[in-house]
Amino acid sequence: MSDESQPPDSTRPHDPATGDSILESIARRTGRAPRTSLHDSSDDDVSPIVDPRAGSIEEQLSKRDRAKYRVIGEIASGGMGVVLRGHDTELGRDVAMKVVHEGLADRPEVVERFVEEAQIGGQLQHPGIVPVYELGLIADERPYFTMKLVKGHTLAKLFSRRRSPDDERARFLAIFESVCQTMAYAHSKGVVHRDLKPANVMVGSFGEVQVVDWGLSKVLARGGVADELAARDTAKSLVETVRSGPSTDSDSMVGSVIGTPGYMAPEQARGDIECVDERADVFALGAILCELLTGAPPYVATEGRTLVQMAALAELDGARERLAACAAPAGLVKLCESCLMPAPAARPSSAQEVADAVRDHIAGLENAAHEAQLTAAEERATAERSRRQMQAVLGAAALALVIGGGLWWTTAQRAARRAQLAEGFEEARTIALEREQEGAYAQAVDAARAGLALLESRDASDELVGKARALVERTEGALADARTAEAARERDERLLEFLEDAAMRAVDTNLNAEPNEINESFRAAFQDYGLDLTDDGLADRVDELRDTPMALPVALGAEGWIQVLRQMDENRSDDVELLTSIALDLDDDPLRTEARLASASGDANALIALAEEALAADAPPQTLLLVGSSLVRADAVAEARLALIAAAERFPDDFLANYTAGVTLIRGEMEGNPLIAQYLRAAIALRPDLPTTYIKLGDHYRSIGNSVLAARYTQKGMSMTSYDRWNPRAVAEDLMASGEFARAIEWFEREREQYGSNVDLDGIIMGCRAALGEVTPDAYFEWSLAQTGRAPTAALGPAYVLTTRRSEEWYDPAKALELLQPFAESNIPVTFGFTVLARAHIGVGDGASALEALSRIDLSEDAAGLANRSGYSLLLAAALRLEGRDVDADHALETARWLRDTLVAGDEEAWSKSSLIMDFEDFEPVAAGD
């Protein structure tokens, strides 16, 4: 450090009050201008200058009397502003200066967010957050703020230098813990970062860790996002910013996606800004931990899929596979997986919870190292003691041999020899008992047997030999008991593992396993556990299990087996009765007991009352699932929904709770309910290895007309199982409705391989090829006309193409009517066919014929989902308009729009290619009178 006085310098910045700089003013009064400079570390750790041309900003600062800042050059540029490296000539320190881009200075929302970033940094006082020094304006009214110039390397750069993810894991965990602690502090102040990633973490040369770039941060009201929505007008944030007051147009960009997709929580990627709270940062922390442990963030771009799409759909299969395969400790992997849960409620509630878990892990490593040192020392001492003890035993034997020389028959010598043998046996007994106490039962037996062998081969007293034999018997008994206990533990673990797997396989019934197959696996598992339903000793085995920790799992397993038996064709009432008795005997929970009895007797009213009681009593998931599934079997689906939704909401990390809630909502004719997708997606996140959940979710999206997501999830599920258990037609039609004709042909060809060719399939494939331009419109029409002689329904696919205004080249409703004539005369009840017929009549302006075709469509809820009913209402509106019935047409059009809005709400992007939207483009102009 140097301390020197310098004369006033006319080039120094000026004090606005006197015309002098502050240092000049001091020098004028004292005669000395103090100037202290500290030694600095190498500038290698500072972000390099990317543009030295920053003179214009320095000139603007001078005009605002802020000439104390000397601008060295630009070091970075972002979406809102440019970051400069500057020097404060009065305090003698380097600073980072951020200035709004010149072209954005007139946009209020940009300026507000920029000022908010400065205000947040100024109020967050923590070693892990870069301090803000000053906020001001340059001459052209652009705001700027200065802050500490961070010197070091980003965590992203440090990650890139590793040879493998296992390198320096302890060091990176310490850095990660610091990041978590910093975010815990920010969360305590109501601030959410929303762009956490390794590139926004700076690690200094001396170990300092700082989270940077708070430009996308959000200030919550007290209590997080839930309270923020309820108290937006009155609640005060712990951090005050320009946007903390009454809500304005720039308060939160609803529906926008901000952040870095590779590290982004699903709710953030979907643009659900109102749902983004501390748990979005927790997801990002999990993403950083994922990269720390595996070498890559959760989402890695693939061909045809953007990172935003992957993040919005929480496509985390790849991340979970990498985590499962990495060499990191299981506790860290589990923590990472919990942070990356798609459902926010299933994640740790804040960064503090993550920080505590990492701290405990690091402390555990230190304790384990200390314990290992103590254990090693103890083992060395034990080994030395054992060596001395065994030497004593052998010494006694050797002494006995010496004594047994020439003086063998003298009484005194015999007594001395027996005393030596007793001492040697006592040493062996001590070793045996110590080993038994330590749980080393085999070693205890060895020591006891050695002591007995010593006595039996010498002139030992009968009493001492009896003690030795008793010791052997005792240690052998302890060893046998230990082996029995270990076998019982292994048997418990086998059954528990089977029951968990069986519950999942029951979900996959008719896909990966038939009910008969699952039934036999249950029978074998229960027999292995000593619960053979045909054995006379079954009651005794059940008595043994009562009041043990395995009683409830076995009872619930019996319930699962009962569900499988009920799916089988043949009557298995005897087995069901036996298993019900086992469940009742082993599980004495009053609610579950009454539910089993009511289910066995088919008493729906009793089950409904029990469901209300279970909901009021905050019952565990086992009770809610049992009552809910019993209500489903009793056809009380509406009441079952309440219990099963409660189970999913209260226990978001329970697969069966989420899955059962989702499929019950589908069965309850609530296909438009967004909770279906929420629960089934959560189930997929918890058990991504089960194809049925994907296919059920695909069915849901298909029922509401979202062919894009229907194809995506159904393809995923079908790719995990054999095609002979599921018709590829569903995926093919979804792809065709989404306009992906080439891929649709692939799946239609799979159907041909599986089920053979038919005229309908040939027509659909030809239609896809025509849509791809491989067949001309005239050739396609002639081919289709020839096929109608094979089957009246052969014209449906071609006629649909001719009635869809995807291009004027193909649109020809008159030709469609010609193709449909055999079908119209056949009276075959095909809803799709009458829909296409109505479209064709509307296209040629024949409203009356269109209404007649629509009257033949089955609109019952079992036959038509929301998407079909919306399409029907749209066609009805167009037909009524042609007939001059404008009032009725307006009503039908309003119904169609309401149904469409119900389906599309919150998922516009996924709907952009769906067939329902195309229908609106085709027919709404007609319905409006065009």
> Above 50 in pLDDT, residue 2?
no
Distance between CA atoms of residues 718 and 750, nearest Å: 12
What pLDDT is attached to residue 102?
A: 82
Closest CA to 194 of 271, 296, 80: 271
Please give the Cα distance from 836 to 876 (Å, whole number): 13
How would you classify residue 372: left for phi > 0, otherwise alpha for psi between -120 and 50, otherwise beta? alpha
Residue 703 · residue 867 · CB < 8 Å: yes
**β-strands 209-211, 81-88 pairing:** unpaired
Paired tokens of 588: 């004495």
Report which of residues 120 and 456 the model is more confident about.
120
- Both tokens of residue 476? 């052998």
What pairing do the DSSP bridges indicate for beta strands 33-37 and 2-6? antiparallel
Supply the pLDDT for residue 413.
61
* Residue 273 in this model has a pLDDT that exceeds 90: no
pLDDT at 542 over 80: yes
Q: What is the pLDDT of residue 664?
A: 80
Selection from 39, 14, 35, 138 nearest residue 91 by Cα? 35
| C-alpha count within 13 angstroms, C-beta hemisphere, residue 118 | 23
The span from the CA of 847 to the CA of 737, in Å, is 26
**Model confidence at 83: pLDDT above 80:** yes
Q: HSE-up of 186 (CA within 13 Å, CB side)?
A: 32
Q: Is 85 helix (H, G, I), strand (E, B) or coil?
A: strand
Q: Is the pLDDT of residue 406 over 50?
A: no
**3-class SS of residue 250:** coil
Mean pLDDT of 174-190: 93
- Is residue 929 predicted with pLDDT exceeding 90? no
Of residues 389 and 712, more confidence is placed in 712
Residue-wise pLDDT tens digits, 312-349? 888 898 999 999 999 888 889 999 999 999 888 889 98
Compute the average pLDDT of residues 657-679.
76
**Averaged pLDDT score across all residues of the chain:** 76
Span 64-82, pLDDT tens digits: 556 688 888 888 776 778 8
What's the pLDDT tens digit per position in 769-813? 877 878 876 777 777 777 666 677 777 777 777 787 555 667 788
Residue with tokens 């459902």: 343
Q: DSSP secondary-structure letter at 130?
A: P
pLDDT of residue 849: 93
Cross-strand partners of 105:
none
Across 123-131, average pLDDT: 90
Segment (H or E) for 209 = strand 209-211
pLDDT above 70 (res 278): yes
Q: State residue 357's pLDDT score.
A: 92
pLDDT at 599 over 60: yes
Higher-pLDDT residue of 617, 227: 617
Cα Rg of the chain, angstroms = 39
Q: pTM for this one?
A: 0.44
Where would I find the H helices in 83-207? 108-123, 155-160, 169-188
Which one is predicted more confidently, 607 or 56?
607
Report which of residues 293 and 924 the model is more confident about: 293
When pLDDT is averaged across residues 38-42 and rounded to a whole number, the result is 50
Q: Is a pLDDT exceeding 60 seen at residue 534?
A: yes
Per-residue confidence (pLDDT) for residue 396, from 0 to 100:
47
pLDDT at residue 292 greater than cutoff 90: yes
189: its two tokens: 């102040």
The pLDDT tens digits of the residues spanning 209-223 come to 999 888 777 776 544
Listed range (352-356, 528-532, 616-620, 860-864) with the worst mean pLDDT: 860-864
Q: How far apart are CA 88 and CA 52, in angstroms?
A: 17
Confidence (pLDDT) at 855: 87
Structure confidence at residue 60 (pLDDT):
65
**Residue 19, pLDDT above cutoff 70:** no
- Given a cut of 80, whether residue 26 has pLDDT beyond it is no
Q: How far is CA 185 from CA 127, 189, 200, 355, 615, in A?
A: 10, 7, 17, 11, 37
| Residue 98 pLDDT | 92
pLDDT by residue (tens digit) across 699-738? 888 777 777 788 888 888 887 776 455 668 888 878 877 7
> pLDDT tens digit string along 808-840?
667 788 888 888 888 888 878 777 788 889 989
Query: Burial level of 190, CB count in 10 A (0-12/13-18/19+)?
Result: buried
3-state secondary structure of 77: strand
Given this model, what pLDDT does residue 32 score?
64
Q: Would you say 352 and 282 are in contact if contact means Cβ atoms under 8 Å apart?
A: no
Q: What is the mean pLDDT of residues 891-919?
A: 59
Among candidates 521, 513, 448, which has minimal Cα distance to 478?
Answer: 448
Q: Are 586 and 545 in contact (CB under 8 A)?
A: yes
For the chain, give the percent of residues with pLDDT over 70.
Answer: 73
Q: Which residue has the higher pLDDT, 279 or 439?
A: 279
- Percent over 90 (pLDDT), the chain: 15
